[in-house]
Amino acid sequence: MNKNLAGWAFVAAQAVLIIALVLVPSRDDWATPGWVNAVGSIFFFAGFVIMAIAALRLGTALTPTPVPTKRGKLTTAGLYKYVRHPIYTGVLAIVVGLVIPSGSLISLAIGVVTFLFFDRKARWEEARLAERYSEYASYASVTPRFVPQPWRTS
């Protein structure tokens, strides 16, 4: 499969997962007291902030697909100093923010599938980044994929 077509397939699958998560009705599979809803809201809004900051850092290298642009350069500053995929980190925070207050095992299942999907998408993208940037392997060896690890020395 062509890289660009595969990239758009990832985007389409991602959209389906997020839309499914938004459309699944809330349930009573677990309690959702006010503090649970507050935690969900924090994750949800923090995810949007993380995505915006990370997207701005990419500048002209930002692309809707996981295929690196020819005009870009490897970004390792800002949030990219702490994680390789901060936009995905933001999306995953939004997913957590939707699942926690949902009270729904169905939402939880879609959330787990979404996490697995983003892991696979990131690995696919990383192979393209390694092809494009000779320094990517070195960067990836000291920078976690999605979650910052402050205890890790780089």
- pLDDT given for residue 102 in this prediction: 96
Q: What's the rounded Cα separation, in Å, for the pair 110 and 12?
A: 15
Q: Which pLDDT score is estimated for 34?
A: 95
Token pair in block for residue 25: 């009705």
Q: Which DSSP symbol is given to 74?
A: -
DSSP run (H or E) holding 77 = none
Nearest alpha carbon to residue 79 among 151, 10, 145: 145
Tokens of 118: 């983003």
CA distance 69 to 72: 5
| Low-confidence residues in the chain, pLDDT < 70 | 152-154
Helix (H, G, I), strand (E, B), or coil: what is residue 137?
A: helix
- Among residues 68, 76, 46, the alpha carbon closest in space to that of 141 is found at 76
Nearest alpha-carbon partner for 43 in 110, 109, 111 = 111
Identify the pLDDT of residue 152: 65
Say whether pTM exceeds 0.75. Answer: yes
Q: What pLDDT score was predicted for residue 66?
A: 96
Please tell me the predicted confidence (pLDDT) of residue 120: 98
